[in-house]
Structure 1
């Protein structure tokens, strides 16, 4: 039975009452990704946990999110936004409580790791739910390209990524490290309340209709096993862990074998194999994330070790990246075209990689700031264009699971970036080391540029009239 709120939804425009829960849900993952950075050292000191254990507070969320994003996305596509979103918000609140009440002894570190895993799974519901709602609202109202709403979603996640470390620092300084967990209690409860109030109830299939959904649990299990083994191996690569690599590859092979034979697969590999443009979009998301995280972590480390800045000044150097990225995204966000945005973003990435090659331990601050402003161009345009591209290229019936896979590729990019700068840097990040990163960035940017130029389908996205949107979707699917 539809809720009174759903019954009063405007027939010809996007229901703006959906925006608050959508934006809050989508923000929960990036804020918790960033907020923990400043709490790792205080947690280690308080619980007597070494860095080899506190790192699992980061890795645990990464693993849970990389696996959980496509899983929750598929559940959203099958069961609708409301039940999955409310479950996700409840898990976020539960994780906050576990972190708040965890023992203050050394064993407490594993309570916190468990909380972060639960938090990762809970925050996975936000972004796929938002993309599903945007698609359903566009179909209901006849909007061919809800560019303004997609821009708002992109800017929200970017803004939260900026304020996350600052918010974490304020919470730790004011109430201690437990506050970085406790903040999720009101956030989770608020998202549940807003979702329950404004999200429409999904239609319930009858037992005799034959429409009762089926979940591909073996496919999910094979995907999770493959991801866990491969990600742990990549983050801790050593000869003694080669068995994890082998196990991950075997699980991946089982996943492919099963999904190609299942009527309702978790990941429809047959559709993905026939949708080359969507696969390229996933690759672009991966490459963009690699470059972003190389700067957020690897370049920042060089600013402190090689350039001699303190942590506060190094953080300030990065602020223009996010500030200019938001400005660029807002300035062009209502334009639905994506090809020229990706071309501009990929070109800017290449320019920044070249600028890094000219940086030294005595580079003036203004030069570093200019480079970061240029980096803001791909930070804003690439993320926005990739999100818009996914909206048009994904199968409408699987838009949430496709959005989840997009986030998985982004997290794989973050993990790849940590492996790259961890392999390049020695005990300290030298100028020679950052030049090696510069060449890596140049190489990635060239690959990004080449696959963007070669993808002719990008030129049509956002250029069609409202009545032609179905044609574009069908062409992308082919």
Structure 2
């Protein structure tokens, strides 16, 4: 009887800690809910402040600029200090940003609130990936397929429900209510994190003494300068901004030299440079997000201004994408291969972009949800495939920063999408601008397919014996 009790306790210790799932889920969706809910709020905010689409695009870019800078840095801090402290501090900022945004007296303050919001959402996803790695090490089961799928499904759910939720909030309390939503979300995330996240650093880096020695502050600063100037250039594509890419190149050169000689580099370029599969994954993330975010913001603005739908109905049109995306994530998440998911996502992107080129302001209403249905296929397949790729390709001791870099490359793609949307629409989101944007998206979709089919490492991964999926 004693042996049975001991064995039962041992099995319990080796099971994934289900208490971690709620804070992991909520933390990881804070960014996508704020990324998507703003899609239907851009037009009302523009009307309130007299700002055209070329200016309201900064509400999108501000969040991604802050998050693209912050995610790999916060991810590295999580690698060193563990997820708990960074999660609590970061998610607290989400509530502060919600208060500032709700009370914003002008457009500039609203943009500043979105920047703060971007920094506040930086810890959720890297913390979740670090916790997954920690639990895999503790339990001895390096195949958390069920949890990875659940994370992808949660992000897909929020990403597509966001526009509908935004439309409902705007109808009930105006566009400011979309910012106020962050106050209870932040409070809940902080409470769950304080109650359920492990108090000891899961990575053990901080426990080895002098954790601050693990911080490459010069490298982080040069990385921030490089990324900041590059993203500003993407949002100001004109001759007067020639100095921005020059700064980006100079900072990038300095960053490279620093990281190649630093004892504990922020991003180990020697290791990363030798990890071609991970670099290819980052490249796929960039072009995939160009397509998905150009659709999210560009298509949604066109349905309101070009087609004449209300914010609520514009969000309602995206519901089919939510349903299909969830179904696809759950279905493909049952299989261990990555290549098939990526090819499915690539073909879905190309088909959806081709459909966008057939839309007109006088076209039938049923065409709008049809496009959303087709876009649901890559939405459900790509995010799961990219997430799984990083989990298996990254070094275990750098899973936090590697996951952060995945999001950074994705946000680079979103910045390209935001810039392309602003350039395509100009002063008004009309049908001609939407078609121009669709051609840009189609080009990115084709590039995504090419990066996938010529990546031999994906075939090797698919040929490897699949590990049994374990649900949380």
Q: Which residue of 1 aligns with 2:177?
A: 179
> Could you tell me how far 1:77 is from its partner in structure 2?
0.6
Q: Which moved more, 1:243-252 or 1:350-359?
A: 350-359
What secondary structure, in the 3-state scheme, does the structure 2 residue paired with 1:201 have?
A: coil
User: Which structure 2 residues correspond to residues 110-189 of structure 1 after superposition, within 5 A?
Assistant: 110-189=108-187
> Could you tell me how far 1:343 is from its partner in structure 2?
1.4
Please point out which of 23, 29, 32 is paired with 2:31. 29
Normalised by the length of structure 2, the TM-score is 0.87
Q: Which moved more, 1:410-419 or 1:273-282?
A: 410-419
Distance change >3 Å, CA 8–CA 69, structure 1 → 2: farther
Q: Which residue of 2 aligns with 1:400?
A: 400
> Could you tell me how far 1:212 is from its partner in structure 2?
6.2
Distance, in Å, in 1 between the alignment partners of 2:89 and 2:126 is 14
Conserved in 2, the CA contact under 8 Å of 1:151 and 1:384?
Answer: yes
> Could you tell me how far 1:141 is from its partner in structure 2?
1.4
Structure 1: runs of 5 or more not aligned: 1-6, 468-478
> Could you tell me how far 1:9 is from its partner in structure 2?
9.7
Q: Which residue of 1 aligns with 2:5?
A: none
Q: Which has the higher contact order (CA 8 A, sep 6+)?
A: 2
Q: Which residue of 2 aligns with 1:11?
A: 13
Matched residue count:
456
Residue 263 (structure 1) aligned with residue 258 (structure 2): no
Distance change >3 Å, CA 354–CA 214, structure 1 → 2: same
Q: Which residue of 2 aligns with 1:421?
A: 421
Residues 135-173 of structure 1 show CA distances to partners (whole Å, capped at 9, x for unaligned) of: 111122122321110111011111112222333333344
What secondary structure, in the 3-state scheme, does the structure 1 residue paired with 2:237 have?
A: coil
Distance, in Å, in 2 between the alignment partners of 1:99 and 1:181 is 6
Distance, in Å, in 1 between the alignment partners of 2:300 and 2:41 is 18
Conserved in 1, the CA contact under 8 Å of 2:348 and 2:377?
Answer: yes
Distance, in Å, in 1 between the alignment partners of 2:312 and 2:268 is 46
Q: Which moved more, 1:354-363 or 1:271-280?
A: 354-363
Conserved in 2, the CA contact under 8 Å of 1:392 and 1:461?
Answer: no
> Could you tell me how far 1:309 is from its partner in structure 2?
5.4
User: Which structure 2 residues correspond to residues 70-469 of structure 1 after superposition, within 5 A?
Assistant: 70-100=72-102, 102=103, 104=105, 106=106, 109-203=107-201, 213-303=213-303, 312-425=312-425, 433-461=433-461, 463-464=464-465
Distance, in Å, in 1 between the alignment partners of 2:167 and 2:301 is 18
Q: Which residue of 2 aligns with 1:470?
A: none
> Could you tell me how far 1:355 is from its partner in structure 2?
3.2
Q: Which moved more, 1:366-375 or 1:404-413?
A: 366-375
> Could you tell me how far 1:448 is from its partner in structure 2?
1.6
> Could you tell me how far 1:82 is from its partner in structure 2?
0.8
> Could you tell me how far 1:246 is from its partner in structure 2?
1.6
> Could you tell me how far 1:196 is from its partner in structure 2?
1.7
Residues 394-453 of structure 1 show CA distances to partners (whole Å, capped at 9, x for unaligned) of: 111111111111111111111111222333446555655544444433332222222212
Structure 2: runs of 5 or more not aligned: 1-8
RMSD of aligned Cα (Å): 2.9
Conserved in 1, the CA contact under 8 Å of 2:336 and 2:466?
Answer: no
What secondary structure, in the 3-state scheme, does the structure 2 residue paired with 1:260 have?
A: helix
Normalised by the length of structure 1, the TM-score is 0.86
Distance, in Å, in 1 between the alignment partners of 2:265 and 2:216 is 6
